[in-house]
Amino acid sequence: MAKTLLSIQDLQARALAAIRTQPGCSDVRNIAINRVTDQRAGNNWSMCVLSAGAADANTAARAALNIQNALRHDYDLTTD
């Protein structure tokens, strides 16, 4: 199945919304989507939490990893 191509901004919005649905993560304020250029990698992006807000940072980081793994099955970044 082909992946849907998204801009960094669209992927960031989807990922942040998904993280905020996770237990203890409703207050996560900001994430970053980073382009991966290594052609040996299975995906062309990665994600990290920049600001956990009132959420526990470790909980937010674990949620981000889970959401990243889930979203990588469906989405890739568009090429610039």
Give the model confidence (pLDDT) of 17-47 as tens digits. Answer: 999 999 999 999 999 999 998 888 888 999 9
Give the model confidence (pLDDT) of 54-79 as tens digits. Answer: 999 999 999 999 999 999 999 999 98
Q: What percent of the chain shows pLDDT beyond 70?
A: 99
Tally of domains within the chain: 1
Instruction: Pick left, alpha or beta for residue 56 (phi over 0 → left; psi -120 to 50 → alpha; otherwise beta).
Output: beta
- Global pTM exceeds 0.85: yes
Instruction: Pick left, alpha or beta for residue 50 (phi over 0 → left; psi -120 to 50 → alpha; otherwise beta).
Output: alpha
What is the 8-class DSSP label of residue 40? T
Structural domain including 9 reads: 4-77
- The pair of structure tokens assigned to 32 is 């970053």
